[in-house]
A and B are shown apart, each in its own frame.
Chain A
């Protein structure tokens, strides 16, 4: 069955520090992978997506993610975090065998000045 695991419920970083949010997935075929961000009181916004090809994908707001098939991972990274990045981040998986996305439980990012 499809599943997504985000092992870190809550992460705190200082502004300007680098960031990596972990995502592991389980999917029986080639996955389509997504990262969404949810600011307080807002809906979800798509940060980036992976379908195929280059395993390092660039997204909005300076985020990137790397697909590692051998590790079933799709970790989100940012070299220097801004205070405005404080939000909840969700990883999701879909694929050709399904019409829906399966979301992880999210990682809440807190940024200290």
Chain B
């Protein structure tokens, strides 16, 4: 079956512009996660969805970042007024996430590399 897909794979944008990053999780996975991976850094948790709701937004770095999920499937991460420090690889993951241990077996997409010039 298809894995987690993300688009675009690469995005170059000018400082101050808005960008949208898309994640299509594995079919049937109810939990969806966004992470940011900056050069030389580990994975920084951004936000987590269970269905269409986001119980944990604690990782969003500023109010320029927002995310939504519709239909319990596709999610969009939006960054408004991009800054150079937003340059990173944005990774999406999904898990069965109904309860218990399956929540934590996360399957990752290939990421979107964002470059803000």
Contacts and interface: CB of A to CB of B under 8 A. Distances in A.
Contacts, number: 51
A42 interface: yes
B91 A43 contact: yes
B72 interface: no
Contacts of B106: 46, 101
Q: How large is the interface on B (under 10, 10 to 19, 20 to 34, 35 or more residues)?
A: 20 to 34
Interface residues of A, number: 21
B104 A101 contact: yes
Interface of B: 4, 31, 33, 35, 41-43, 45, 48, 50, 55-56, 91, 93, 101, 103-111
Interface of A: 32, 34, 36, 41-46, 49, 51, 90, 94, 99-106
